[in-house]
Amino acid sequence: MGIADRLSDLGVTLPDAPAPAANYVPFVQVGNTVYVSGQISNGPDGFITGKLGADMDVAQGAEAAKSCAISLLAQVKAACGGDIDRLVRVVKLTGFVNSTQDFTDQPKVINGASDFLVEALGDAGRHARSAVSAPSLPLGVAVEIEGIFEIK
């Protein structure tokens, strides 16, 4: 079963790849590696904003991280000329969590992205990762995640 079929089985339709909001490109391909710029938490009702440890809990943060993972896959699909099945594996994610100074569950928040990618891609979704806190993120979003991917 291909990636597109697995996503469909999960009820996930990849959106159009989000356009960059400033002077950068959404992804850069070097050989078989695609570097995807940070994707911010965004849902059907717009940006997912908030601060973990203040007005958001871990479960809400994990959902925000999942939305970032979906946007990352949308960018990979665009990099692959619309064929997400060219994705070989997720190499690394770097997750940024908008959180209070005393919040320490950043890894649990970014698990929302990691768990989704493993569910959608199987072993190809397993990756190296960093999960760090940030005192604020662009537009007040809860989570931003960048990624490195191998394609064929």
Average pLDDT over residues 10-31: 94
Tens-place pLDDT, residues 28-79: 999 999 999 999 999 999 999 999 999 999 999 999 999 999 999 999 999 9
The burial of 45, by beta-carbon neighbours within 10 Å (0-12 exposed, 13-18 middle, 19 or more buried), is given as exposed
Tens-place pLDDT, residues 136-146: 999 999 999 99
Average pLDDT over residues 125-140: 98
Tens-place pLDDT, residues 82-115: 999 999 999 999 999 999 999 999 999 999 999 9
**pTM of full prediction above 0.85:** yes
pLDDT category at 18 given cuts 50, 70, 90 is confident
Pairing of strands 143-151, 33-40: antiparallel
pLDDT category at 21 given cuts 50, 70, 90 is confident
End-to-end alpha carbon distance in the chain: 17
In Å, how far are 15, 54, 105, 136 from 49, measured between CA atoms? 19, 12, 17, 10
Q: Which domains does the chain have, with CATH numbers?
A: 3-151 (3.30.1330.40)
Query: Residue 134 has what pLDDT?
Result: 97
Backbone angles phi, psi at 119, to 5 degrees: -60, -40
Average pLDDT for the chain: 97
CA atoms of 134 and 61, how far apart (whole Å): 13
Average pLDDT over residues 5-21: 93
